[in-house]
Amino acid sequence: MEGVLALLEQYGLFVYLLLFGYCALKSGWLPLFAGYAAQTGALDIKLVILATFMGGYIGDEIRFALARAYGTSWLEKPNKIGQLFKTASALANRYGMAYIFLYRYPKGMRTIGALPVGLTNISWPLFSTLNACSAALWVIILVGGGYTFGATFESIGVESLTALSILLLGIFLVILYRLWTKHPPTKTTTVK
Protein backbone atom coordinates (compact mmCIF):
# COMPACT_ATOMS: atom_id res chain seq x y z
CA MET A 1 0.00 0.00 0.00
CA GLU A 2 2.94 2.35 0.58
CA GLY A 3 3.75 2.26 -3.15
CA VAL A 4 0.21 3.27 -4.06
CA LEU A 5 0.24 6.10 -1.52
CA ALA A 6 3.55 7.37 -2.94
CA LEU A 7 2.05 7.41 -6.47
CA LEU A 8 -0.96 9.34 -5.17
CA GLU A 9 1.29 11.98 -3.63
CA GLN A 10 3.36 12.22 -6.82
CA TYR A 11 0.48 12.76 -9.28
CA GLY A 12 -1.52 15.24 -7.20
CA LEU A 13 -4.29 16.96 -9.19
CA PHE A 14 -4.45 14.16 -11.78
CA VAL A 15 -5.57 11.77 -9.03
CA TYR A 16 -8.55 13.99 -8.18
CA LEU A 17 -9.52 14.30 -11.86
CA LEU A 18 -9.28 10.52 -12.21
CA LEU A 19 -11.45 10.10 -9.11
CA PHE A 20 -14.00 12.55 -10.54
CA GLY A 21 -14.13 10.67 -13.86
CA TYR A 22 -14.38 7.29 -12.16
CA CYS A 23 -17.25 8.46 -9.96
CA ALA A 24 -19.03 10.05 -12.93
CA LEU A 25 -18.94 6.77 -14.83
CA LYS A 26 -19.48 4.13 -12.18
CA SER A 27 -19.55 3.18 -8.57
CA GLY A 28 -17.07 0.93 -6.92
CA TRP A 29 -14.53 0.96 -4.20
CA LEU A 30 -12.22 3.73 -5.43
CA PRO A 31 -13.89 6.40 -3.23
CA LEU A 32 -13.38 4.09 -0.25
CA PHE A 33 -9.68 3.75 -1.04
CA ALA A 34 -9.43 7.50 -1.69
CA GLY A 35 -10.87 8.09 1.79
CA TYR A 36 -8.24 5.80 3.23
CA ALA A 37 -5.50 7.57 1.25
CA ALA A 38 -6.76 10.87 2.68
CA GLN A 39 -6.62 9.43 6.19
CA THR A 40 -2.94 8.55 5.65
CA GLY A 41 -2.22 12.06 4.38
CA ALA A 42 -1.57 11.06 0.75
CA LEU A 43 -4.68 12.96 -0.46
CA ASP A 44 -6.58 16.02 0.72
CA ILE A 45 -9.88 14.86 2.25
CA LYS A 46 -11.73 17.99 1.06
CA LEU A 47 -10.68 17.41 -2.55
CA VAL A 48 -11.54 13.71 -2.30
CA ILE A 49 -15.02 14.60 -1.05
CA LEU A 50 -15.48 17.25 -3.74
CA ALA A 51 -14.26 15.03 -6.61
CA THR A 52 -16.34 12.06 -5.46
CA PHE A 53 -19.50 14.08 -4.92
CA MET A 54 -19.25 16.06 -8.16
CA GLY A 55 -18.43 12.95 -10.19
CA GLY A 56 -21.35 11.01 -8.72
CA TYR A 57 -23.76 13.90 -9.07
CA ILE A 58 -22.82 15.09 -12.57
CA GLY A 59 -22.57 11.56 -13.98
CA ASP A 60 -26.14 10.80 -12.94
CA GLU A 61 -27.39 14.16 -14.17
CA ILE A 62 -25.97 13.34 -17.62
CA ARG A 63 -27.57 9.88 -17.66
CA PHE A 64 -30.89 11.35 -16.56
CA ALA A 65 -30.65 13.98 -19.32
CA LEU A 66 -29.87 11.33 -21.95
CA ALA A 67 -32.85 9.22 -20.91
CA ARG A 68 -35.07 12.29 -20.82
CA ALA A 69 -33.91 13.37 -24.31
CA TYR A 70 -33.90 9.98 -26.04
CA GLY A 71 -36.06 7.83 -23.77
CA THR A 72 -39.31 8.13 -25.67
CA SER A 73 -37.79 6.34 -28.64
CA TRP A 74 -36.88 3.45 -26.32
CA LEU A 75 -40.40 3.31 -24.90
CA GLU A 76 -42.04 3.36 -28.34
CA LYS A 77 -40.21 0.32 -29.72
CA PRO A 78 -42.78 -2.45 -30.30
CA ASN A 79 -40.25 -5.18 -29.53
CA LYS A 80 -38.88 -6.84 -26.40
CA ILE A 81 -36.54 -3.91 -25.64
CA GLY A 82 -39.46 -1.48 -25.75
CA GLN A 83 -41.40 -3.69 -23.34
CA LEU A 84 -38.41 -3.86 -20.98
CA PHE A 85 -38.12 -0.07 -20.98
CA LYS A 86 -41.87 0.29 -20.37
CA THR A 87 -41.65 -2.04 -17.37
CA ALA A 88 -38.52 -0.29 -16.06
CA SER A 89 -40.25 3.06 -16.48
CA ALA A 90 -43.36 1.86 -14.61
CA LEU A 91 -41.24 0.53 -11.74
CA ALA A 92 -39.18 3.71 -11.62
CA ASN A 93 -42.39 5.78 -11.54
CA ARG A 94 -43.63 3.75 -8.60
CA TYR A 95 -40.37 3.39 -6.63
CA GLY A 96 -38.20 6.10 -8.19
CA MET A 97 -37.42 8.11 -5.09
CA ALA A 98 -36.19 5.12 -3.12
CA TYR A 99 -34.43 3.73 -6.18
CA ILE A 100 -32.37 6.94 -6.52
CA PHE A 101 -30.87 6.20 -3.12
CA LEU A 102 -30.24 2.50 -3.80
CA TYR A 103 -28.76 2.10 -7.28
CA ARG A 104 -25.35 3.58 -6.39
CA TYR A 105 -24.29 0.61 -4.29
CA PRO A 106 -24.71 -2.71 -6.17
CA LYS A 107 -21.88 -3.49 -8.54
CA GLY A 108 -22.72 -2.51 -12.11
CA MET A 109 -26.00 -0.72 -11.37
CA ARG A 110 -24.65 2.81 -11.06
CA THR A 111 -23.54 2.89 -14.69
CA ILE A 112 -27.14 2.67 -15.90
CA GLY A 113 -28.94 3.61 -12.68
CA ALA A 114 -30.29 7.05 -13.59
CA LEU A 115 -31.55 5.97 -17.03
CA PRO A 116 -34.86 4.47 -15.83
CA VAL A 117 -35.50 7.53 -13.66
CA GLY A 118 -35.15 9.71 -16.75
CA LEU A 119 -38.06 7.76 -18.25
CA THR A 120 -40.39 8.67 -15.38
CA ASN A 121 -42.56 11.65 -14.56
CA ILE A 122 -40.15 12.77 -11.83
CA SER A 123 -39.31 16.40 -12.54
CA TRP A 124 -35.72 17.31 -13.21
CA PRO A 125 -35.50 19.66 -10.19
CA LEU A 126 -36.78 16.90 -7.92
CA PHE A 127 -34.36 14.40 -9.45
CA SER A 128 -31.48 16.86 -9.03
CA THR A 129 -32.32 17.38 -5.38
CA LEU A 130 -32.65 13.65 -4.68
CA ASN A 131 -29.54 12.95 -6.75
CA ALA A 132 -27.54 15.48 -4.70
CA CYS A 133 -28.79 13.94 -1.44
CA SER A 134 -28.04 10.42 -2.69
CA ALA A 135 -24.55 11.44 -3.87
CA ALA A 136 -23.85 13.11 -0.51
CA LEU A 137 -24.92 9.99 1.37
CA TRP A 138 -22.77 7.87 -0.97
CA VAL A 139 -19.76 10.12 -0.27
CA ILE A 140 -20.33 9.94 3.49
CA ILE A 141 -20.56 6.15 3.41
CA LEU A 142 -17.68 5.41 1.05
CA VAL A 143 -15.19 8.24 1.59
CA GLY A 144 -16.08 8.50 5.28
CA GLY A 145 -15.86 4.74 5.63
CA GLY A 146 -12.46 4.67 3.95
CA TYR A 147 -11.24 7.55 6.07
CA THR A 148 -12.49 6.01 9.30
CA PHE A 149 -12.00 2.29 8.68
CA GLY A 150 -9.40 2.21 5.88
CA ALA A 151 -6.80 0.21 7.76
CA THR A 152 -9.43 -2.42 8.54
CA PHE A 153 -10.45 -2.62 4.87
CA GLU A 154 -6.83 -3.02 3.88
CA SER A 155 -6.50 -6.04 6.16
CA ILE A 156 -9.76 -7.55 4.83
CA GLY A 157 -8.62 -7.32 1.22
CA VAL A 158 -10.15 -6.19 -2.05
CA GLU A 159 -11.56 -9.65 -2.77
CA SER A 160 -13.84 -9.40 0.25
CA LEU A 161 -15.08 -5.97 -0.83
CA THR A 162 -15.79 -7.30 -4.32
CA ALA A 163 -17.72 -10.22 -2.83
CA LEU A 164 -19.74 -7.76 -0.73
CA SER A 165 -20.50 -5.68 -3.82
CA ILE A 166 -21.63 -8.76 -5.74
CA LEU A 167 -23.81 -9.78 -2.79
CA LEU A 168 -25.44 -6.32 -2.82
CA LEU A 169 -26.03 -6.68 -6.57
CA GLY A 170 -27.68 -10.07 -6.01
CA ILE A 171 -29.98 -8.68 -3.32
CA PHE A 172 -30.85 -5.71 -5.53
CA LEU A 173 -31.65 -7.98 -8.49
CA VAL A 174 -33.86 -10.27 -6.38
CA ILE A 175 -35.83 -7.28 -5.09
CA LEU A 176 -36.05 -5.83 -8.60
CA TYR A 177 -37.28 -9.17 -10.00
CA ARG A 178 -39.95 -9.45 -7.31
CA LEU A 179 -41.14 -5.91 -7.98
CA TRP A 180 -40.98 -6.48 -11.73
CA THR A 181 -43.16 -9.60 -11.60
CA LYS A 182 -45.51 -8.25 -8.94
CA HIS A 183 -46.21 -4.91 -10.63
CA PRO A 184 -46.14 -5.26 -14.43
CA PRO A 185 -46.71 -2.02 -16.32
CA THR A 186 -50.34 -1.12 -16.76
CA LYS A 187 -49.90 1.80 -19.10
CA THR A 188 -47.30 3.52 -21.21
CA THR A 189 -45.42 6.14 -19.28
CA THR A 190 -44.87 9.49 -20.90
CA VAL A 191 -41.69 11.44 -20.48
CA LYS A 192 -42.06 15.13 -19.76
Residue 106 has pLDDT above 80, yes or no: no
Q: Which residue has the higher pLDDT, 89 or 191?
A: 89
Q: What's the whole-number mean pLDDT along residues 97-111?
A: 79
pLDDT of residue 97: 84
Q: What's the whole-number mean pLDDT along residues 41-56?
A: 94
pLDDT of residue 116: 83
Question: Residue 43: which of 21, 18, 25, 23 has the closest Cα?
Answer: 18
Residue 179 has pLDDT above 70, yes or no: no
**CB atoms < 10 A from the CB of 149, how many?**
15
Per-residue pLDDT reduced to its tens digit, 132-173 = 999 999 999 999 988 988 766 656 655 565 665 566 566 766
- In angstroms, rounded to a whole number, what is the distance separating the alpha carbons of residues 93 and 189? 8
Q: How confident is the model at residue 190 (pLDDT cuts 50, 70, 90)?
A: very low
Per-residue pLDDT reduced to its tens digit, 78-90 = 777 777 777 777 7
Q: Which residues contact 97 (CB under 8 A, 6 or more apart)?
A: 122, 130
For the chain, state the CA radius of gyration: 18
- In angstroms, rounded to a whole number, what is the distance separating the alpha carbons of residues 144 and 146? 5
Per-residue pLDDT reduced to its tens digit, 2-48 = 665 566 667 778 889 999 999 999 877 789 889 988 988 888 999 99
pTM of the model: 0.73
